[in-house]
Amino acid sequence: MVHTGTYPRRQPSEVVGRASAVRGAPFPAAALLLLCMLWPVLPVAAESRLALVIGNSSYATNVLANPKNDAELIARALKLVGFDVVKLIDADQAAMKRAVLDFGRRLRASDGVGLFYYAGHGVQVEGENFLIPVGADIKDSEEVALAGVSLGELLKTMERASSRLNIAILDACRDNPFQTSTRSATRGLAPVRAPTGTLIAYATGPGEVAQDGAGANSPYTSALAAEIPAIGISLEEVFRRTRRKVLEVTANRQTPWEHSSLTGEFFFRPKSAEPEASLRPGEGAYGMTHARLSEIREWEQIKDTTDIAVLRAHAQRYPDGLLRELAQLRISRLESPPSPWNWVFTSDSRSTRLAKAEPIYEQAVKLDSRASGQAALAEVAALYGQAAELGLPPAMYHYARAYDHGRGVKKDLAEAAKWYRLGADAEHPQSMASLGTMYEFGDGVERDLVAALRLYRLAADAGDPHAMTSLGYLFATGKGVGRDLGQARRWYGNAADRGDARAMYNLALMAMHGDGGPRDLAEAVRLLRAATEKGHAGAMRELAFLYDEGRGVEKNAIQAANYLLASYKAGNKAARLDIRLKSLAWTFATRREIQKRLTRDGLYAGRVHGIFDTPTRKALERFASGN
């Protein structure tokens, strides 16, 4: 913590208040250390986040116990939320000035967020504030400007860097140690103008004395370090919560204070989802959707045509359609008709077998779209099996999928892998992608990331968007390959262009964070909306985050509530946790809008108070079940 006033003794009442405050401190350093071990350093933003943290304790006179511990605690909290931290403990004037110079240079080379934290002695002389280095031999206030480090110059250094946002935090008992000086007899540090885009935070208000703390950390730094990792809390709210906690633990003896000229939002740890991992293409895509119904109706009208252009148009209109592959088979047969002499050599040529398989597969697809009940599903699986035995690659894929998900047959991952492999050997892209995912996770086969990567690449080169997305995920996470965010972004982009919702979602997260390319919130919002239109529940939840916080979009509690409820109803596990266990991470306005929506739907009759009590949770369950 920062102490201004090196030499005057504290009054007895101050010492008593200090001891009681620390005993009540809610978040000791050990607790944050445990969090650091449990939580990974999160890629909360790819914008550069740079911090300079200084803690000076070992003064020649008036040694301070806590600043070095406070600096360590704050440094750990900042690293946890993605800051690149330079930390100095017991720095002399030369070291402090050199660190400030380097800090300014690094900020100028970036376009992100700069944060300065100081714990140690500090004074005001003739309206200017100075931080006191270790080793400074100051006899009176006349010498402070020569031996100290100007806070004003440090703030100018940060301002000249033109960072997106600057934060300066001073944990200070801002009192003048030279009250007998002829230059100044004022109490506390001088007011400081916060340049545009800057927040300056003090451990206590003007003319007040901050408590040091009898334990390892000051009440202010202990409270602040607890709030920095909080999810979805704006910068201003972090300091409001810190102020409330300090007032509580110091029995209202110390009131933290900020001066802000911020023009935008900043979150130490924004609410943000993780990228969606690989999955076998088509998971959860059963049932008669409007698109499938349209596809089947159109196919009935064109299936006997010999017009290649008509068949090609159908395949392009339904790129993920179940009958698209039949159209492509017909196109291949029309473009390369079998030789009339084939019957001389074999009466059971591949083309003959495929011709037999096609109507069986077509029947299976139609039945699959409306099948319900085990008997119907077993009939579908049997039809896929007949067509697969005749060598039809898409039938092999769907037969494998039946075993993969236990649909109409007993679930058997080894049997699924067998049929995916046969489809892959026939160069069927979806089969290759699905087999790749089995190798990625070791489902039904021995885990083999090299084989997974090879299969994904083959399927991606054949135009399969699911494989492209899975490749993007491997490169984004460094799973089985060297981490390459540029490659990840490229593969996600290729898949998103082909309409893959998972790729749109993962690419939106990269654009939001600036991973592998420029940070672009507008593009992230566009991609999330496109994925949402395709029913991606994770994208709905992410849009709810943005509308709740006003990031990239105008803050809108109604939109946030609608998107969160849509994600919840779609079965997104994270959205359900948000509502059931983490509702306080959402703004009061959004929580109220959720209750209003439940009231309009006739599911909730309680008060609209923003508290998710038992009646609200029961209403949410009815909403999710559709009852």
CA distance 449 to 437: 9
Give the pLDDT of residue 330.
73
For helices 537-549 and 588-600, what crossing angle results, to 10°? 120
CA distance 54 to 97: 11
pLDDT in tens, 316-371: 777 767 677 777 777 777 777 655 544 444 445 777 888 899 899 988 888 887 76
Hey, do 2-8+15-260 and 291-537 end up sharing a CATH topology, with the first three levels equal? no
CA distance 349 to 340: 12
User: How confident is residue 299, by pLDDT bands cut at 50, 70 and 90?
Assistant: confident
Residue, of 366 and 44, whose pLDDT is higher = 366
pLDDT in tens, 568-580: 998 888 888 888 7
Could you give the C-alpha distances from 36 to 29, 30, 505, 581, in angstroms and in order?
11, 10, 28, 22
Q: Does residue 458 have a pLDDT over 70?
A: yes
* pLDDT-above-90 percentage for the chain: 44
CA distance 383 to 357: 9
Domain ranges across the chain:
2-8+15-260, 291-537, 538-627
User: What single-letter amino acid sits at 439?
Assistant: Y
Q: Does residue 9 have a pLDDT over 50?
A: no
Give the pLDDT of residue 38.
39
What is the average pLDDT across 131-156?
87
Give the pLDDT of residue 2.
43
User: How confident is residue 37, by pLDDT bands cut at 50, 70 and 90?
Assistant: very low
| Closest by Cα among 113, 117, 106 to 45 | 113
Of 258-272, 310-324, 601-615, which range is least confident?
310-324
Give the pLDDT of residue 414.
96
Give the pLDDT of residue 519.
82
User: How confident is residue 456, by pLDDT bands cut at 50, 70 and 90?
Assistant: very high
Check: CB of residue 124 under 8 Å from CB of residue 188.
yes
User: How confident is residue 283, by pLDDT bands cut at 50, 70 and 90?
Assistant: very low
pLDDT in tens, 16-36: 232 222 223 334 444 444 344
pLDDT in tens, 553-598: 998 999 999 999 999 998 888 888 888 777 877 888 999 999 999 9
Strands 122-125 and 113-119, by their bridges, are unpaired
User: How confident is residue 485, by pLDDT bands cut at 50, 70 and 90?
Assistant: very high
Residue, of 337 and 436, whose pLDDT is higher = 436
Neighbours of 605 (CB within 10 A): 9
Give the pLDDT of residue 21.
28
Average pLDDT score, the chain: 82
User: How confident is residue 275, by pLDDT bands cut at 50, 70 and 90?
Assistant: confident
Give the pLDDT of residue 559.
96
pLDDT in tens, 73-125: 999 999 988 899 999 999 999 999 999 999 999 998 877 899 999 998 888 77
Strands 49-55 and 84-89, by their bridges, are parallel
* CB-based burial label for 487 (10 Å; 0-12, 13-18, 19+): middle
User: How confident is residue 185, by pLDDT bands cut at 50, 70 and 90?
Assistant: very low
User: How confident is residue 466, by pLDDT bands cut at 50, 70 and 90?
Assistant: very high
pTM higher than the cut 0.85: no
Give the pLDDT of residue 511.
92
User: How confident is residue 175, by pLDDT bands cut at 50, 70 and 90?
Assistant: very low
User: How confident is residue 183, by pLDDT bands cut at 50, 70 and 90?
Assistant: very low
Residue, of 404 and 518, whose pLDDT is higher = 404
| Closest by Cα among 481, 484, 455 to 468 | 455
CA distance 411 to 377: 13
Domain 291-537 has CATH 1.25.40.10: yes
Q: Does residue 225 have a pLDDT over 80?
A: yes
Q: What 3 state SS string does 246-271 have?
A: HHHHCCCCCCCEEEECCCCCCECCCC
Of 12-26, 208-222, 497-511, 582-596, which range is least confident?
12-26
Give the pLDDT of residue 393.
92
What is the average pLDDT across 30-52?
54
DSSP string, 89-120: ES--HHHHHHHHHHHHHHHHT-SSEEEEEEES
User: What single-letter amino acid sits at 56?
Assistant: N
CA distance 101 to 109: 13
Question: What CATH code is assigned to 2-8+15-260?
Answer: 3.40.50.1460
pLDDT in tens, 519-536: 888 999 999 999 999 999
Give the pLDDT of residue 605.
92
Give the pLDDT of residue 601.
92
